[in-house]
Structure 1
Amino acid sequence: MALQCGIVGLPNVGKSTLFNSLSNARAQAANFPFCTIEPNIGTITVPDERLTKLAELVKPQRIVPTTIEIVDIAGLVKGASKGEGLGNQFLGNIRGTDAIIHVLRCFDDDNVVHVDGSVDPLRDKEIIDTELQLKDLETIEKKLQKVNKAAKTGDKEARKTEDVLSIYKSHLSSGKPARTAPVEENDQEHIADLYLLTSKPVLYLCNVDEKSVKNGNRHVEAVKEAIRDENAELLMISAAIEADIAELETYEDKQLFLEDLGLDQPGVNKLIVSAYRLLNLITYFTAGVQEVRAWTITRGTTAPGAAGVIHTDFEKGFIRAEVIHYEDYIAYGSESACKDAGKLNVEGKTYVVQDGDVMHFRFNV
């Protein structure tokens, strides 16, 4: 599953600095507005100690972790929904992502220019929220115009779509995101083809200074209060610290650096955990002498669906899955030992895969 998160925010809030430190790609970060023109795409390897421990037992020829794509999207200004600045390009880039990481500047530093002259994360948030909502409102109204004609002829499906679209229109017009609209889950299919920008899950990333990375500051508290009813996540991270960590070459040096700051893990690890939680994702593993590999699926996926992530033929010809729970694999030390101890379960098409399952699929095409 190719998971893609878009980093958005006003110019000079720390997006590109964060992107550079999180990904294997390098963007040209500079201390002035609009330093990013084209979206840069980088890849984060998802850190997972379970993968490492499995590899230590199996000793495979290679280890393949799962990854997340991070897209650094061009800075936004007021009027983007009407094409101002890089507006149309910016909004189009967001539409293709699975989730939005909304970076808010929550640090004071006179040496870093703010596009609006002062630090105010709530104002910054409102600018981007408004532009996304206006674009969604425009999208909803265009579809309503088409649906209205069919609804007037008595088409029941068109009438239902019209009702659902009207709810979204009213909700967006009141300054609220589509993801919080009072619409039943089954009725959301009526707007699925619109890929509404504000329907995407959002992680608010408060970019703080070093001394605030553990306990936050007044800016972070203001953001927490503002998003209380938004069904969104919030994470504090210091882009400056992450940039310093990225420059260190060895794992040991990075750990010592974190210990000196009183931190237990890099911000990128917390970011990935938050992204997975936001998108309701879990990981299962395949383990053999050729490779030990992590696979990402949506929570609630059945065994055939999980097999299909590897190859569509696996899902089409699914016969059964041989499953060992991760804890049992580590406790007994090998697949054969788990089998001897009765810890290898044979599961059918209805089995719901659990986070950490070690799986082997039987199929016939």
Structure 2
Amino acid sequence: MMQAIGIAKSVGIKAVQCRSFHRSVGIVGMPNVGKSTLFNALTRTEQAQAANYPFCTIDPNVARVGVPDPRVHALAKMENSQKVIETQLEFVDIAGLVRGASKGEGLGNKFLDNIRQVAVIAHVVRCFEDVNILHVEETVDPLRDLDTIRTELLLADLQTVERRLEGLKKKKKSNEPGLHSLQEVLNRILPMLEEGQQLSNLTFDFPEEQVQFDRLQLLTAKKALYLCNVSEDDAATGNEMTEAVRKQVEAEGSVCLTVSGALEEAASAFEDEESQMEYLQCGGLEETGLTRVIRASQKLLQLQSYYTVGEKEARAWNIPQGATAPMAAGVIHSDFERLFIRAETVSFDDLMKAGSMKQAREKGFIRSEGKDYICQDGDVFNFLVGR
């Protein structure tokens, strides 16, 4: 028997990739609504070229950002860890969409293909006036822009479903597994798409039908949040345009955030975090847009964090809600799930109360959990696995 933490140090980053799951956020919207500026600010990079003309982002820019997590830093301080490693989310800056994208207009096909690869769609809508920044529709109207994007995604899904149904007609006598379930799924969602319904909250009673639905990678089935991009002056309070967007999307049960790409990008130019926060506070903000967007994305992705801590490093790991202890171990290394024996665990709160892992053990806070244990957010683990 061996402890999983020791192996995790030796296998490094490649080990984590042995057991990964989709956790990318695609930033989408009409051209010149501030997607690339917001991407630069949120990821604190200058990977995306912000320019005053449509389609300046052709290939999607990708950046991985650390998830702000005070708990992992508190663990590192408590155990005097040499290094702190936060968990990460991936942000993808995708080319701007125009009316007719579902028919290939602009960069429509590339745009739609890129969206299919992300888990969450972050819709950026322009809620600021600026005569120096052109709008592809000539006027600023966030509700119109939002309707345009969602219509194009819906039309693309409708085409996908119709093509699949047409293909199934040629396989009526086929005994290929799953065809009946796929037929049921397609027949259910076709009228929904024809009526203009989004599919993000759709579920199926039969597991095989849910699998077939997920495999379709439909654009309107993806979780979404909405980012109202405003001027620096409206960063703290929003404006009439943000209020209109918020009322519409919240009525649908979606998340709406007001952010200022210009303010966030200016703040990100400061080298230290303290100076960045001082600049944001001058604009009436108490935290970065990155923090709020990541928090919303984590919730939509139904992710939670667990931790490992030792002398060399304190590290946060992302797992889906409902994951078992072996699944959590498998995020560190795929072999850990297969060879899992048990997990020594303590909640973050209990560990902080104890003051150290040693004292937590002395106080009886550390539990021994088996293969059926459902992980809780904030668990601190030491996995024991076989050889």
Does the residue aligned with 2:187 lie in a helix, a strand or coil?
Answer: helix
1:234 aligns with 2:260: no
Matched, 1:222 2:244: yes
Instruction: Extract unaligned runs of 5+ from structure 2.
Output: 1-19
Post-superposition Cα deviations, 1:311-332, rounded to whole Å, max 9, x if no partner, equal: 1111001100110110111122
Letter in 2 for 1:297: I
| 1:32 aligned residue | 53
**Closer/same/farther in 2, CA of residues 316 and 62 from structure 1, 3 Å limit:** same
Higher mean displacement: 231-240 or 181-190: 181-190
The equivalent residue for 2:31 is 11
Q: Please say if residues 151 and 162 of structure 1, whose CA atoms lie closer than 8 Å, have aligned partners that are also in contact.
A: no
Q: Does 1:327 align with 2:349?
A: yes
Matching residue within 161, 175, 179 for 2:200: 179
Match of 1:48 in 2: 69
Contact 1:167 1:183 in 2 (8 A): no
CA distance in 2, matches of 1:363, 1:40: 39
User: Structure 1-normalised TM-score?
Assistant: 0.94
Structure-to-structure mapping, 1:277-356, within 5 angstroms: 277-356=299-378
Figure out how many residues of one structure are paired with residues of the other and give that number: 365
What's the CA shift for 1:111?
A: 2.1
SS at match of 1:113: coil
Aligned to 1:22: 42
Aligned-pair CA distance for 1:157: 5.7
Aligned equivalent of 2:5: none
Shift of 1:117: 0.7
Match of 1:193 in 2: 215
SS in structure 1 opposite 2:200?
helix
Cα distance change of structure 1 residues 30 and 338 upon mapping to structure 2, 3 Å threshold = same
Check whether the contact 2:250–2:256 (CA below 8 A) recurs between aligned residues. Answer: no
279-288 or 33-42: which moved more? 33-42
Counterparts of 1:326 and 1:180 in 2: how far apart (Å)? 32
**Structure 1: unaligned runs, 5 residues or longer:** none
Choose from 265, 272, 279 the match for 1:250.
272
The alignment partner of 1:176 has SS state of coil
**Contact kept in structure 2, 1:180 and 1:231, CA below 8 Å:** no
Alpha carbons of structure 1 residues 117 and 282: separation in structure 2 relative to 1, 3 Å: same
- Percent identity between matched residues is 45
Give the distance between the partners of 2:230 and 2:206, measured in 1 at CA.
36
| In structure 1, distance between residues paired with 2:176 and 2:337 | 37
Report the aligned-residue RMSD: 1.9
Task: Give me the whole-angstrom Cα distance separating, in 2, the residues matched to 1:340 and 1:7.
Answer: 48
Q: Residue by residue, what CA displacement relative to the aligned partner does 1:199-228 show, whole Å, maximum 9, x if unpaired?
A: 110011111123332332221222123224
Counterpart of 1:146 (choices 140, 156, 167) is: 167
User: Does structure 2 retain, via aligned residues, the 8 Å contact 1:168–1:181?
Assistant: no
Cα distance between partner residues in 1 of 2:380 and 2:337? 17
1:94 pairs with 2:115: yes
Q: How does 1:51-70 map to 2 (within 5 A)?
A: 51-70=72-91
**2:187 corresponding residue in structure 1:** 166
